[in-house]
Chain A
Amino acid sequence: MVGLILNFVSACRASGLRVSTAEFLDCLAQLDLVDISDEVQFKTVLSSNFAKSRRDRCRFEQLYRLFFHELSQIPASSSPESMGGLIAELVEVLREGADGDVTYRAIIEFLSGNPLTFLAELKRIRTEEHPATQGGRFNLGPLASRLQVLVNLNRLRNMVAHFINANESRLGFDTGQNLALYFNASLDTAYTLLMNEPRPPGDDTREVTTYRQHYRRLGELPFSMLSQREVEEMREVIVELVRKLKDMATRRWASHSRSVLDVKKTLRRAQRYQGIPVEIVFRHHPPRKAKIIALCDVSSSVWSAARFMLNILYSLQECFTKVHSFIFVSGLAEVTAIFEAHEINLAIEKVLREAAIEYYAPTDYGETLRHFKRDFMDIPDKKTTLIIMGDARTNYFNPEDAILEELRERCRRVIWLNPEPETEWNTGDSEMLTYKPHCHEVRQCRNLNQLIDFIEDLIL
């Protein structure tokens, strides 16, 4: 039993679940307490110890199915002993065909009942970054690695068929068929593992699509369709709005309840009453302030929405410890300094002129995330809220969503604001569905009312 569970733990680790020794020991102790012949109980013990969040569950389910249901299912019709020998023989034959190809060897290991290398290989393919090569950029990196596995799977399938044909007289028809069945089933399993990557379920991501009507006309106009006059009008409204929000934030501050005794102040006040502490003074605990990182797409359509968000965020700076802002198209540039040096409206005008990015390049989210990971990974911490404002239209470049997952692990919250109407998400080159499971919250943000709702949620 210990060996079996240990193998399963190794498989979990190979495909990226973090299982500690303590959890493994807990699991063993708990297995003694339940009736392991009842599968619900057995599975519950494993899942409650090894998959400690909803997000880990889907990967766990896949591994569990593989490990306890699909691996090494020898066809029932033949006697297991003779099959065992034949399987080993065939695996040896297949192994001789290996030629330094890592994936090929991983699949052979998988066929002989040891899925670890194959799972690790799949994890590599899943999380590998594909930096843009000189000249052309394309989305084929992950596809190419998958193709490599597919080619090898097909090659093995042919080799198995060949072996069985060649040895038909020795094996007999039935045994040959069973052997083919066994190997093809295993290869099918490997194929499914490759093609049906379990993504984290999107269902724990909060999706906000409805909003309150704060302003009737101006609030409903999509940012992208504002005329110059309406932009001016919008600015005035924002000034008023910011004042209101600040009021609300300070009220919350003031009402925040007392904590420990302020000895110094209490003693000082006691002087007035001959040393009798009539008034007791408590220290106030300011509510925790958040750190904000804003990543804004500035390609034409999105910029019109992003500018208003930056405007509000910077107007409300007192509510946050620090606001870091970045803009991107196909590369990333930090613009925090511009906002610190200039008045907000001026800064917004300057951002587009002065930041070192190519405005007319096609938007590349993958490159942006890679760039962030390379240069700015030290900024996010457990108090940071990462706000990404963009339409998630990747122009069919590699979305690199594994990096967003990495960011999620470092941040307190990840929020994606999409200025497109929800009906257009996931159409064409929009990768919203790919990014969504990695976010805590996704929101539509195409007019002022939606933006106000979001900001209220953020600071209150």
Chain B
Amino acid sequence: MKFTGVDDVLIKLESAHYIPSREIATVVFLADATSKPILVEGPAGVGKTELAKAVARSLGRELIRLQCYEGLDEAKALYEWEYAKQLLYTQMVKDKINDVIAGAETLAGAVDRIAAQEDAFFSERFIQPRPLLKAISSDKPPVLLIDEVDKSDPEFEAFLLELLSDFQVTIPELGTRKAVNIPFVVLTSNNYRDMSDALKRRCIHLYIDYPERELELRIVMLKNPGIHGRLAGQVVDMIRAIRNLDLKKKPCISEAIDWARSLISLRIEGITPEVVLQTLPMICKYRADSEKVKKSLDTLFSRV
């Protein structure tokens, strides 16, 4: 299944519980239509990862996720030989090997015969596919999420280039594998470091910022069905006001959603300074941030 147009993306993503801006919808449509990866940047918690999940849900595709970190290498991202299994098999078929080389007259002859059987050990049976190999050999086109690609090493980034432009990978023992179905690829970055020009050139770039007030309100209402409109409005205004403070970690959309959810379960109908103090751990994840919010409660409430 593919998207038929920008409006189609808007409708489908919304039915998958993700409310995109028109810009996001356009980029998703283009990525789908041209089979190019999307590189998503933006502050933490604005829904970069969620976008990939929503695309998978709306298209009914499987989501394959690769979380990047320093030291991630091909063995964990692409494939690994199952050495233990290979060794076990060699032990079990030892007698068979003797049969194979039984008639050989010279050492070279025996080696040749074994070499002819090499494929038996370097075959699909002994390969353990990791997310990237899984994504390109899948029968149905999946959504591949390469999360926090900025945390990976430059070597891994270079390795990704082949995959992202040609959708193929090379396994020395087996040869080049082309993608059965081209996956929908989403890369996310938190701007820990700058990505190389070569990688950027292969992607469509998307910057997701904190949403407009109306959009954020819609998101909070969508994720918390049954919330009173007035409370949702207050939650969003308060979160937006706190976001303007100079904090170590600014509350993002997911904090707004969680906060609203906890207010509902506490059966609170309106936000007062006491309520904020009581539920502050839902909004601030650092003690210093909590202190700062406590100190500026008065100004926050006068602003809202």
Contact = CB atoms under 8 A, between A and B. Distances in A.
Interface of A: 18, 20, 22-23, 26, 29-30, 33-35, 38, 40-41, 44-45, 47-49, 51-54, 57, 203-204, 207-210, 256, 259-261, 266, 276-277, 280, 285, 287-288, 382-383, 408-409, 412-413, 440
A33 B41 contact: no
Interface string B204-239: 111100000000000000000000000000000000
B154 A382 contact: yes
B87 interface: yes
Contact of B248 (A38, A52, A209): A209
A276 B91 contact: yes
Contacts of A204: 191
B83 A34 contact: no
Closest 10 CB pairs between A and B?
A210-B288, A52-B200, A44-B26, A261-B83, A52-B205, A40-B22, A382-B154, A48-B204, A204-B191, A277-B87
Contacts of A48: 26-27, 30, 204-206
Chain B at the A interface: SS class = mixed
B191 A54 contact: yes
A209 B153 contact: no
A287 B71 contact: yes
A387 B284 CA distance: 29
A352 B75 CA distance: 49
Given A33-B33, A41-B22, A288-B153, A22 B73 contact: no
A225 B26 CA distance: 57
B interface, size bucket: 35 or more
Contact of A280 (B71, B83, B205): B83
Contacts of A440: 191-193
B39 interface: yes
Contacts of B207: 54, 57
Contact of B193 (A22, A34, A47, A412): A412
A34 to B, nearest CB: 6
B159 interface: no
Given A35-B6, A57-B207, A41 B194 contact: no
Given A383-B154, A440-B193, A259 B84 contact: no
A45 B204 CA distance: 9
B203 interface: yes
Nearest to A55: B194
A203 B243 CA distance: 13
B95 interface: no
A41 B205 contact: no
Nearest to B247: A210
B6 A41 contact: yes
B53 to A, nearest CB: 21
Contacts of A382: 154
A34 B26 contact: yes
Interface in B66-109: 70-71, 73, 75, 81, 83-84, 87, 91
A259 B73 contact: yes
Contacts of B200: 52-53
B82 to A, nearest CB: 10
Given A52-B200, A52-B201, A53-B200, 16 more contacts: A30-B30, A30-B34, A38-B6, A40-B22, A44-B27, A48-B26, A48-B204, A48-B205, A52-B197, A54-B42, A203-B43, A256-B71, A259-B75, A276-B91, A285-B73, A413-B193
